[in-house]
C-alpha cells in the first residue's frame, strides 16, 4: 500500500479577498475554511501524514485557532512569497518514505471524499505520474489576441482544481527547477520538468476556491444542500 503525504497550502495573503483576514481563516459553517479542507483530506486518506503551510506572521494565530476550535494541527511549515515557494518549503521537510504527495489549497474547503479518492486511485495505473481533478468549462470562451479577441473551442479546455497528487520522487525533481511565473499549480511545475503523464479525474463544481467574500455564502449554501 502506498504512503501518502498531504500538504495544505495556506500561506497566501488573500489580496483579492479584500479583508485583513486571509480567506483560508474566515469562518464557514462554524469553523475556519482551512479546517474543513484538512478534515476532508484526512478523512479520505486515512493514515496519511500531513503538513499545513502558513505565512510566518500567522503561525501564532493558527495555534490560537486550533485551541479555540479543539483542532489538532498538522505539522506546520513556513511558506514563501509565492505558492510555488510555499510548496517547495513543504517538500523540503516532507517524509522521505512518502510514495505520493497530494497538495491542496487551504482555500478550497469542500473537496468531496469521492473526488479525493479518484485522485489517489488514478495511481493504480503505473504509467500515471500525477492526477489533477478537472471540470469542463461551461462558459463560452474568447482568447485575447493582437486583433482584439477570438473564440476558442471550449470542448478542448478543462478548469483544474486541487487536491493534485504526484509520485513523490518526480515531484521533488520537478521542484528543483527554477521558478517560472507560469507555475500557477503543481501540475504546471511537473509538466515543465517533462513529467506529462497527468490523469484528469472528475473534479466538482462544489470544490470552489474561496476568492471573494461572497464565496463564503456560496460555500455555506453548498454545504446546506449537500447535507440534505
Ligand atoms: O492565491 P491563490 O488563490 O492562487 O492561492 C491558492 C492557495 O495557495 C491558497 O490556499 C493560498 O493560501 C496558498 N498560497 C500559499 N503561499 C503563497 C501564496 C498562496 O500557500 N505565497
Atom of ligand 1 nearest to the CA of 53: 20
Question: 227 or 130, which is more confident?
Answer: 130
Report the alpha-carbon distance of residue 130 to residue 199 in Å, rounded: 6
Query: How much is the pLDDT for 1?
Result: 65
* Residue burial 162-179, b: 16+ Cβ < 10 Å; e: rest: bbbbbbbebbbebbeeee
Ligand 1 atom with the shortest distance to the CA of 107? 10
pTM of the model: 0.95
Residue labelled with grid coordinates 479555540: 68
The stretch 13-20 carries a mean pLDDT of: 70
State which ligand 1 atom lies nearest to the alpha carbon of 82. Answer: 21
Query: How much distance in Å is there from the Cα of 105 to the middle of ligand 1?
Result: 7
CA pseudo-torsion sign 71, 206, 90, 102: positive
Burial class (CB in 10 A: 0-12, 13-18, 19+), 112: middle
Residue 30 has pLDDT above 70, yes or no: yes
pLDDT of 153 > 90? The answer is: yes
Q: What is the pLDDT of residues 103-144, one digit of tens each?
A: 999 999 999 999 999 999 999 999 999 999 999 999 999 999
Contact 127, 30 (CB under 8 A): no
Ligand 1: residues within 6 Å at CB? Answer: 9-12, 24, 53, 79-83, 86, 105-107, 209
Amino acid at each position: 500500500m502506498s504512503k501518502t503525504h498531504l500538504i495544505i497550502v495556506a500561506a497566501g495573503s488573500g489580496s483579492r479577498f479584500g479583508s485583513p483576514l486571509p480567506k483560508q481563516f474566515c469562518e464557514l459553517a462554524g469553523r475556519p475554511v482551512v479546517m474543513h479542507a484538512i478534515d476532508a483530506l484526512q478523512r479520505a486518506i486515512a493514515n496519511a501524514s500531513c503538513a499545513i503551510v502558513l505565512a510566518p506572521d500567522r503561525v501564532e494565530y493558527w495555534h490560537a485557532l486550533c485551541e479555540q476550535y479543539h483542532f489538532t494541527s498538522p505539522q506546520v511549515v513556513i511558506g514563501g512569497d509565492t505558492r510555488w515557494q510555499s510548496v517547495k518549503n513543504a517538500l523540503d521537510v516532507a517524509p522521505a518514505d512518502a510514495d505520493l504527495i497530494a497538495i491542496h489549497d487551504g482555500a478550497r474547503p469542500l473537496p468531496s471524499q469521492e473526488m479525493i479518492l479518484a485522485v489517489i486511485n488514478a495511481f493504480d495505473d503505473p504509467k500515471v505520474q500525477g492526477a489533477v481533478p478537472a471540470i469542463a468549462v461551461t462558459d463560452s470562451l474568447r482568447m485575447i489576441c493582437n486583433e482584439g479577441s477570438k473564440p476558442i473551442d471550449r470542448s478542448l479546455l478543462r478548469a483544474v482544481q486541487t487536491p493534485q497528487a504526484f509520485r513523490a520522487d518526480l515531484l521533488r525533481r520537478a521542484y528543483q527547477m527554477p521558478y517560472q511565473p507560469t507555475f500557477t499549480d503543481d501540475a504546471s511545475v511537473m509538466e515543465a520538468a517533462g513529467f506529462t503523464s497527468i490523469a484528469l479525474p472528475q473534479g466538482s463544481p462544489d470544490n470552489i476556491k474561496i476568492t471573494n467574500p461572497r464565496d463564503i455564502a456560496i460555500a455555506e449554501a453548498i454545504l446546506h444542500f449537500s447535507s440534505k
